[in-house]
Structures are given as C-alpha cells and as structure tokens.
A and B are shown apart, each in its own frame.
Chain A
Amino acid sequence: DQQVKQNSPSLSVQEGRISILNCDYTNSMFDYFLWYKKYPAEGPTFLISISSIKDKNEDGRFTVFLNKSAKHLSLHIVPSQPGDSAVYFCAAREGYGGSQGNLIFGKGTKLSVKP
C-alpha cells in the first residue's frame, strides 16, 4: 500500500506559466517532506523540503505548500522553464534516527515545459 502518492504521471505546461505538482500521503507520522528532480539516466537531485510544522517553504522559483489536514503537499514552479522538464519525486520521512530516517518515495510526475 503506497504511503506517498503522486496521482498524475505527467504534466505539460507552457514556458513562463506556473507548474503545480501534487503529492498525497497517508501516514500522519511523516514529519518532513522533500522534492527531488530527476533527469533520464541521472540520479535524483534534491530541490526543496518542508517540515510538518510549516505550511510553506520557498526557494527561488520553487515553493512547496503543505496542508496537513488534507495530507497533501504541492510544489509550485514559477515561472516554468524548458530546463525544468524532468521527473519530480515527492518523498516523506517518518521521524528521525535509525530506519525512521529513511525516505519513502512516490512514483513521480513527469513535467514537460514547452517553449
């Protein structure tokens, strides 16, 4: 049973517009959420994270929003650029220390930004 779900396998947006990638989770014990970006044939690259005690974290063009009551988070990319075209993975951590520090990943959403 998937604890981290990315229900949209793909998303296509126009350059300059906003990209919104969504992630739902089922485990209320998750205390940190992370977003990674992955190009084909490369390893994932860390983008941004958010603690469960916050509802928003911003880093340049990337903003992550967390809605704990809905068990939902989203990554906003504004403005979207063709170089943002990649697969985006949502990940969650259940506590820290030992195996609890391990991350659980969603299946990813493939973002295509068209010029």
Chain B
Amino acid sequence: EADIYQTPRYLVIGTGKKITLECSQTMGHDKMYWYQQDPGMELHLIHYSYGVNSTEKGDLSSESTVSRIRTEHFPLTLESARPSHTSQYLCASSDTGTVTSSDTQYFGPGTRLTVL
C-alpha cells in the first residue's frame, strides 16, 4: 500500500497570495511528480523530479515552482495565486522503472485549490 500524503486537502485563497502545497512519501521512491487535473480532463504533468536536487518541468506550462531537498518531500509553490490556478493538484511518486517493470505511480489524495 502506498504512503503518500498531501496537505492541505482543500484550500480557498485570495488572488495574489503565496501558497505552498505539501507532498511527502514514505516509500523511498526516487521519482516524484505534480499533476494538475480539472473535471473531465486528463492529468497534466506540471513538474517531476528524478531525485534529490533534481527538478524538471512537465508537459503543461505552469507558473508554479518545486524543490526536492529531501527524497521524501516535494513541495509546490505558487508565488502569486490567480483564479486561473483553481484546480486539483495531485502529487505522485514511483520507483524508477525498468524494461520489465512499469513506472507505477502512487498518488496522494490531492489538494483542491480555489483562488477567488
């Protein structure tokens, strides 16, 4: 069973505020990911990390930033929230896959962000 945690679960905030979404995993996974998902749409990868001190941008452009100072922790920060940032943010982690094993990602419960 996967152990990956996200806080807060729900956040309502005003425009212009700085926010940090927390994500932690206890599985020792090297790879971690942040996705953005809206109802009826696919999960869009916005950031990922191969390991400590590694961060990469995903397929969907995002104004957020991430850091990976510890293996288990992968926070996402929005310096100035806007209504267009309203969405569900999902964090995931995985082992590095091989030719015989998939990069199965395990997801946290998500953070539902609403920017007024």
Mark A residues whose CB is within 8 Å of B: 2, 4, 9, 31-32, 34, 36, 41-46, 49, 51, 89, 93, 96-99, 101-103, 105-108
Contact = CB atoms under 8 A, between A and B. Distances in A.
B108 A43 contact: yes
A44 B43 contact: yes
A41 B10 CA distance: 9
Contacts of A107: 40-42
B75 interface: no
Interface residues of B, number: 34
Given A9-B40, A101-B94, A102-B45, 12 more contacts: A4-B42, A43-B4, A43-B6, A43-B90, A43-B91, A43-B109, A44-B43, A44-B107, A93-B102, A96-B96, A96-B98, A103-B45
A42 B110 contact: yes
A34 B104 contact: yes
A14 B110 CA distance: 30
Q: What DSSP secondary structure best describes chain B's contact surface? A: loop
Given A41-B110, A89-B43, A103 B50 contact: no
21 contacts: A2-B42, A4-B42, A9-B40, A32-B97, A34-B102, A42-B109, A43-B109, A45-B107, A89-B42, A93-B97, A96-B96, A96-B97, A97-B96, A101-B31, A101-B94, A102-B45, A102-B48, A103-B45, A103-B105, A105-B43, A108-B40
B50 A102 contact: no
B56 interface: yes
Contacts of A96: 96-99, 103
Contacts of A97: 96-97
Contact of A101 (B41, B103, B110): B103
Contacts of A32: 97, 102-103
Residue among A32, A34, A102 with the highest chain B CB neighbour number at 10 A: A102
A73 to B, nearest CB: 13
B54 to A, nearest CB: 10
A45 B69 CA distance: 27
B85 interface: no
